[in-house]
Structure 1
Amino acid sequence: MTRTEEFLTELDEGMLQYFREFADELVGRFGMSRAEAVARINAAYEGADIEPYPDLMCHEEPDYWAYGLYFLPKDGRSPHSGSVGDLTEWETRPAPPRDSHVWTLSE
């Protein structure tokens, strides 16, 4: 398990790839920069105890977690691909403050 300059949690190679796919989903689905995607992931998972691949979170595809980091929960639930139609119904979660240490990549 190692900690990279990118993510603020220790990940083995398999989970590092999973987290990078997670960031790719945020970039591809929601049009944010890679720096913002990584900052959102860091804000949510910094210091989390992530097991070697396949960690329990791997029972869902990275896009499932991406929706949860981009949208605020509504009525006790979070959207995920395949479960939502009109995404305009959902309020977006603000990005972490730009001066936060979770921004490990430059724009």
Structure 2
Amino acid sequence: MPTSSETLELLDAIADEMVSEFGISRAEAVARINEQWHGQDLSDEDSLILHEEEHYWAFVIHYGGNVPDWSPGADRSTWAPKPPPAAGSGFWTVPD
């Protein structure tokens, strides 16, 4: 997808946040990000995704938009993450 340098920086920070917050591989984080925004043009400097920080997007992407509690110490033991994209989906662009 087309990105601006600022958007690309945010996407990289989102992947880092997903790896540290959820313990998933970078490859899975990138695949989830690719699935989230495939087919969209993120090259505009006023892109909507730039209006939120990486923590927000990491949770939205990982839990499929269903984030019941944004508190830092929230008990996530019963939260179900959205399944990662299928292996042959084309979203997996980074090796494990």
**TM-score above 0.5, yes or no:** yes
Q: What is the aligned residue count?
A: 96
Q: Which runs of 5+ in 1 are unaligned?
A: 1-8
Q: State percent identity of aligned pairs.
A: 35
1:22-58 CA distances to partner (integer Å, 9 max, x unpaired)? 1111111001111100000001101113243352222
Aligned-residue CA RMSD in angstroms?
2.0
Residues in 1 aligned to 2:73 and 2:88: alpha-carbon distance in whole angstroms: 33
Q: Residue 74 of structure 2: which of 85, 90, 96 is its match? A: 85
Measure how far apart 1:79 and its partner are. Answer: 4.4
Structure 1 match to 2:22: 30
Is 1:13 matched with 2:2? no
CA contact (8 A) 1:72 1:92 kept: yes
Other-structure match for 1:3: none
TM-score by length of structure 1 reads 0.78
What's the TM-score, normalizing by structure 2?
Answer: 0.86
Q: Which has the higher contact order (CA 8 A, sep 6+)?
A: 2
Regions of 4+ moved over 4 Å = none
The answer for unaligned runs of 5 or more in structure 2 is none
